[in-house]
């Protein structure tokens, strides 16, 4: 009996982006090295990080360019992928400017806080208004634990600020998570696979499924160069872009709250910084040895590779819990 063997379109998108990222790495890493866009390591951090000083940064372009090319190719068949792509790249552009100021202009903090926040808000506003008024996806949100068919409609004047908050928060959260070799890329890879599986349940989410597969392929390819010891760091252009990607995907799928579950690592990394700052300002004492949280574990004696592995495992578990909150049946 002859059985036809077919490969799904999203699998092809994943594989092509993965291969293009593997090709882009050896092209861009020497260029970044020659341009001397090296990472500056905090002198108050783990001593083991000092040897990372000078490692090329701004490496987000290694996977963002393949993601752009593959997404544009599939945009003809899945036009909805455009808003996801350009939201991601919009945040990536802000990160690029921030990186450029840090490593080229030699201004330690890059963009000033108000400049960076203004940029994030502008991209968030454009993306949200496009989703609401051009794509006309509505303002309803899926209610957790009740299933996809149970939604709650929000007034537009609440929905738009909420979506903007989700986008700004997610970009900053992934940015804070990006502090160890392979951490942000690995966690985001797992979250993207989670979103892709969920998107397979509805035909109207086909464009989401394709984009998630594309970003996941880029993250996996980037890990070939970013795993310990990293040959390149993604920089803010990569981390802000990935944060924008997970944020906008959660919005178009009408489940922004899912980032609190599947994106649990992003959440605890952000909370650790907020708690640390608040505690020091109020009590003059620190709760953690260092924030974000991954540095606390390093200073507690954990090896960098162990922290990354544990955070990956926690993300896998968090995604399974995410399936439960959606009453998702895998089998």
For 145, list phi and psi in degrees, rounded to 5: 75, -5
pLDDT for residue 3 is more than 90 = no
pLDDT for residue 40 is more than 70 = no
pLDDT class for 149, splitting at 50, 70, 90? confident
pLDDT (tens digit per residue) in 276-311: 999 999 998 899 999 999 999 999 999 999 999 999
Compute the mean pLDDT over every residue in the chain, rounded to the nearest whole number. Answer: 91
Mean pLDDT of 223-236: 94
pLDDT for residue 5 is more than 50 = no
d(CA 206, CA 209): 5
Closest by Cα among 93, 92, 95, 113 to 103: 95
pLDDT for residue 257 is more than 60 = yes
Q: Which residues contact 116 (CB under 8 A, 6 or more apart)?
A: 94, 98, 110
pLDDT (tens digit per residue) in 61-76: 999 999 999 999 999 9
> pLDDT value at position 1?
43
- E strands present in the chain: 140-142, 151-153
**169 contacts 192 by C-beta, under 8 angstroms:** no
> pLDDT value at position 109?
74
Residue with tokens 């003059």: 284
Least confident of 30-34, 260-264, 266-270: 30-34
0.85 exceeded by the pTM?
yes
Least confident of 42-51, 64-73, 92-101, 276-285: 42-51
What would the two tokens of residue 301 be? 């004696």
d(CA 257, CA 247): 10
> pLDDT value at position 330?
55
Domain ranges of the chain: 9-259
């Amino acid at each position: 009996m002859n059985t036809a063997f077919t490969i799904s379109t999203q699998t092809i998108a994943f594989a092509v982006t993965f291969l293009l990222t593997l090709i882009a790495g050896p092209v861009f890493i020497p260029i970044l090295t020659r341009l001397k866009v090296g990472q500056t390591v905090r002198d108050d951090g783990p001593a083991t990080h000092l040897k990372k000083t000078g490692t090329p940064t701004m490496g987000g372009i290694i996977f963002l360019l393949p993601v752009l090319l593959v997404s544009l190719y599939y945009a003809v068949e899945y036009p909805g992928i455009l808003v996801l792509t350009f939201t991601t790249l919009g945040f990536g552009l802000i990160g690029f400017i921030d990186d450029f100021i840090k490593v080229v202009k030699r201004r330690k903090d890059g963009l000033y806080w108000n400049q960076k926040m203004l940029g994030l808000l502008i991209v968030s506003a454009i993306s949200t208004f496009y989703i609401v008024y051009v794509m006309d996806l509505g303002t309803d949100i899926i209610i957790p634990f009740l299933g996809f068919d149970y939604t709650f409609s929000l007034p537009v004047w609440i929905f738009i600020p909420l979506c903007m908050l989700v986008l700004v928060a997610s970009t900053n959260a992934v940015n804070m998570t990006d502090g160890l070799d392979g951490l942000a890329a690995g966690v985001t890879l797992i979250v993207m696979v989670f979103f892709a599986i969920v998107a397979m349940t509805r035909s109207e989410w086909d464009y989401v499924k394709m984009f998630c597969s594309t970003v996941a392929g880029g993250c996996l390819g980037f890990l070939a160069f970013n795993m310990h010891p990293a040959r390149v760091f993604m920089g803010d252009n990569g981390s802000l872009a990935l944060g924008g990607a997970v944020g906008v995907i959660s919005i178009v799928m009408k489940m922004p709250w899912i980032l609190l579950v599947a994106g649990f690592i992003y959440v605890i990394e952000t909370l650790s910084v907020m708690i640390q700052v608040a505690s020091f300002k109020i009590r003059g004492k620190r709760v953690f040895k260092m924030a974000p949280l991954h540095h606390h574990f390093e200073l507690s004696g954990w090896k960098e590779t162990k922290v990354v592995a544990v955070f990956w495992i926690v993300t896998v578990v968090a995604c399974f819990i995410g399936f439960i909150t959606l009453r998702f049946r895998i089998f």
